[in-house]
Amino acid sequence: MIEIIPAIDIIDGNCVRLEKGEFSSKKVYYTDPVEVAKLFEANGLKRLHLVDLDGARTGKIVNIKSLEAVASATGLSIDVGGGIRTEQDVELVLSAGASMVNLGSMAVKNPDVAFKLLERFGPDQIILGADVKNEFIAVSGWTEGSTLSLWNFLDKWLGAGVQKVCCTDISRDGMLTGPAFDLYTSMKKQYKQINVIASGGISNLDDVIRLNDLNIDGVIIGKAIYEGRIALEELAKRFL
């Protein structure tokens, strides 16, 4: 069964959503991330994807207090991304209550440190963040593109022992146009050993059902929940 992972993206301590990663498209849904996290937990969800968007943009962790508050107020298993650039950053978010860390920009820009972290913390705590536009990796809160293809990126990191990959199709993120089904199917076909987490574009319950039918391991859902297109009760009924 696919793992349901609701998302909380944070700017200035607020729970927001963007479109295609564009900060100018910011929409605030809640001013207290703890309120949202408690709502997820009350509906039976066990996981949370928390992104420090200020951190992703500036290259340093900004919203650590929001993480601490959510972790202390809930029993959710939280994976965190955004602004994580050093070994000390990983230690900080784990000590603040995260269970897992998403390494995206670091895995591209500073792979030696990322390799060391994977070796130290293991594949249960390290998730590879593969954010793509036209199947090329983007970094730094998606403000920078690269010439690194998704497939070369995966080859490198799966060879190093990564087991979990969160892949976001940037062109779909926040757009409610449906996820990149073909992309995730290709990933599962080519890399049978990895845990693929789909992110970006989820628009309704049928999208989640189809991903489940395709044997995708996890799905991150954000805007579809906040806009009322997917009811938490329905997610719980079908997938928990």
Catalytic annotation, residues: 9, 131
Q: Are 97 and 78 in contact (CB under 8 A)?
A: yes
Closest CA to 200 of 14, 92, 47, 49: 49
Cβ contacts of residue 239 below 8 Å, gap of 6+?
1, 2, 4, 208, 212
Q: Are 82 and 101 in contact (CB under 8 A)?
A: no
Phi and psi dihedrals of 72, rounded to 5? -80, -25
Q: Are 56 and 140 in contact (CB under 8 A)?
A: yes
Closest CA to 41 of 3, 84, 78, 74: 74
Q: Which residue is listed with tokens 């906040």?
A: 226
